Structure 1
């Protein structure tokens, strides 16, 4: 293990079961996922052995194996028979952009919630304008929400939708609880069919506005996850920028947050 890796794992601490009863394997998966997405672990590097992870995080072997299995399913790590588990490039991970954060959380028995921060029409904001292939005079809806899981702030989501595709969408259509808060549920009611998506992930520095939601210092490292969705006619229908509050808290699954 290199000196850099020794420092990374030396800073990790045993997990504590939270009051909201989130399973330990989910916490461990989120912690390891954060190390990968924040590039503290680079593609091609090996993770500690199951026994070492068990010792570092103070969890059982079953918990370690469940967390590694879910990370492998998301494409962030790759197990190699007899050689251990290796980090994959997050940009090449199999991240299903058409999977709803809201629906996934509800299936897990957890409680997703949304706090509406703003809803307005905008014109010139980039890169949304270019990615949605809009002319200069074509407006977009901009929906900004704080997304929470079990009342814990996870990420700030900014979604852009062409007004031409969603002419009647308004703030009253955006629920704060239940399945109705998912934009997929809202989009389905408009007749627009979302068919495929492209994703990207990178580390950025939190501005003062973002840092305030997560009790972070300005310029702290956070993770930006982007998602561009096309409809069944190959038209760009939705572009999202999701800023996750801290690397160690970065997402329940690698998937779209809408």
Structure 2
């Protein structure tokens, strides 16, 4: 019986080569977010390795946040909740006092050669173009965040062909549906700045007032950067909380 070849670098442990093979299946959409992966028995039969090797590879992907175990149901490709970062850092509530995920509304789009910071974040070659989106996040019609979002034009060219009103309220499922680009994880950095003219105008605050800024680099299942985003919100709604034990 022949088995699929794992990575050819024999210097790597077998479980790590298996992990890379499984990660490729996720990146290539053979295993889709929210769906179960094959069982341990099926993976053992497929790759011809011991069940202990299978478990170690799966454990690594669970630790990396790519897979999620569900008791009694199996192991699934994880679809992370990226809006959780806003709840972690900001007190945003509706007029009724309930905490809610802000509505998203894309208000502008352009194709540009980005500055060095964006180019580096997206790992773009010199001179490559990027799509820049401006997006508002609203609660009860009130802007609570102003976002600038950059995407590699090579991956997201179809986004230049649609009406702004066609953008979904949640962008990551929209990226997946329209451009086959899946977001697996993100790296976020939080800082405090002062509102310049555009920020103040969008947030309805005075220029020079403090704002909290969340800088996010969103990664695909292949660990390559897909999106670079700056989200700005008024600092008086910002909070920092951490549990220490």
Q: TM-score, normalised by structure 2?
A: 0.54
Q: Is 1:118–2:108 an aligned residue pair? A: yes
Partner of 1:188: 176
Deviation of 1:115 after TM superposition, in Å, equals 3.7
Partner of 2:210: 221
Partner of 1:159: 149
TM-superposition CA deviations, 1:28-66 (whole Å, max 9, x none): xxxxxxxxxxxxxxxxxxxxxxxxxxxxxxxxxxxxxxx
Partner of 2:83: 100
Structure 1 stretches (4+) deviating beyond 4 angstroms?
108-111, 173-177
Q: Distance in 1 between matches of 2:200 and 2:158?
A: 33
Whether the 8 Å CA contact 2:212–2:238 is kept in 1: the answer is: yes
Greater relative contact order structure (CA < 8 Å, 6+ sep): 1
TM-superposition CA deviations, 1:138-177 (whole Å, max 9, x none): 1111001121012221110111010111121126365478
Q: How many residues align?
A: 152
Partner of 2:124: 134
TM-superposition CA deviations, 1:191-219 (whole Å, max 9, x none): 21211211000000100121122332211
Deviation of 1:232 after TM superposition, in Å, equals 1.4
Q: 1:98 to 1:136 in 2, by over 3 A?
A: farther
Task: Say what the alpha-carbon RMSD is for the aligned residues.
Answer: 3.2
Whether the 8 Å CA contact 2:107–2:164 is kept in 1: the answer is: no
Q: For 1:172, which of 147, 162, 170 is the aligned residue? A: 162
